[in-house]
Amino acid sequence: MSYFKHHVFFCCNQRGPGETCCNNHGASDLQTYAKERVAELKLKGPGKVRINKAGCLDRCDQGPVMVVYPEAVWYTYVDKSDIDEIIEEHLKNGRVVERLKV
Amino acid sequence: MSYFKHHVFFCCNQRGPGETCCNNHGASDLQTYAKERVAELKLKGPGKVRINKAGCLDRCDQGPVMVVYPEAVWYTYVDKSDIDEIIEEHLKNGRVVERLKV
């Protein structure tokens, strides 16, 4: 069994001005938001959910992106409501959010 | 199929002086080494291997740690020879390195 049931990595890479990168789309702030929400919902911990920052996940053109392992589902997102949907549907209820997949 | 065949995250968290953390065990330097070796061996890219840095993976007492997804295999390591073995055995040949598992 996986140490974390769902291990989420947000690409938080910051490139230079004018270059496409996840952090120019609010990745770090929304990673922090996701981490706090998962804690509030008591989904956090071994056997449950971990929300991490990561370096460049190399899918810049589709960013901002996150990936959920071990199921290897990639998402993009725009705002807190997208994050809320991913947390509620995928991380809590195990249902992939098809409309946000990349 | 997973976007990356093997997606590797090194915990590169840096805590304060005297606190246990992966980066005090050379995590960042060995992540850089792994990334360079994977590129040299032409294992890098979509459908192949990605080597990333991550924030705290929350297994500090067992650190330094990395995790390989989607197979969800966790490793510790001491030096470049451990990294070389993980690259050769696991990332190239698909065989888990049992002696380094955590």
Full set of structural domains in chain B with CATH: 6-100 (3.40.30.10)
pLDDT tens, N- to C-terminus, chain A (102 residues): 899 999 999 999 888 887 888 888 899 999 999 999 999 999 999 999 999 999 999 999 898 999 999 999 999 999 999 999 999 999 999 999 999 999
Burial of B18 (0-12, 13-18, 19+ CB in 10 A): exposed
Residues B91, A62: Cα–Cα separation, whole Å? 26
Contacts of A13 in chain B (CB under 8 A): none
Give the pLDDT confidence score for residue B21 in this predicted structure: 86
Please report the pLDDT score of residue B15 as a whole number. 85
Residue A24's pLDDT is what? 87
Q: Give per-residue pLDDT as tens, B17-76.
A: 878 888 888 999 999 999 999 999 999 999 999 999 999 999 998 989 999 999 999 999
| Interchain contact, A55 vs B56, CB within 8 Å | no
| B-chain residues near A74 (CB < 8 A) | 3
Nearest-CA residue of chain A relative to B5?
A72
